[in-house]
């Protein structure tokens, strides 16, 4: 689990809060994508 992010600020916690927020958002979006992908696979293109 690795990703790159860029933030144009100097955070007092050296980016820990930014990292945690990005991880939370990315995890949620990837979970959404997985749900829709698996849901779409249940329907054939012939339908």
- The set of residues, in sequence order, having a beta carbon less than 8 Å from that of 26 and lying 6+ positions away, is 3
Q: Is residue 32 part of a domain?
A: yes
Domain that holds residue 18: 1-42
Q: Is residue 22 part of a domain?
A: yes
CA 44 to chain centre: 27
Q: What is the pLDDT of residue 45?
A: 87
Q: What is the pLDDT of residue 11?
A: 93
Q: Is the pTM of this model over 0.85?
A: no
Q: What confidence tens digit (pLDDT) does each residue in 1-47 have?
A: 787 888 899 999 999 999 999 999 999 999 999 999 999 999 998 86
Q: Is residue 47 part of a domain?
A: no
Q: Is residue 20 part of a domain?
A: yes
- Nearest in space to 11 (alpha carbons), one of 21, 23, 3: 21
Q: In the chain, how many domains are there?
A: 1
């Amino acid at each position: 689990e690795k990703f790159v992010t860029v933030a144009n600020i100097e955070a007092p916690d050296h980016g820990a809060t930014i990292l945690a927020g990005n991880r939370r958002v990315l995890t949620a979006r990837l979970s959404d994508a997985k749900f829709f992908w698996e849901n779409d696979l249940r329907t054939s293109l012939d339908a």
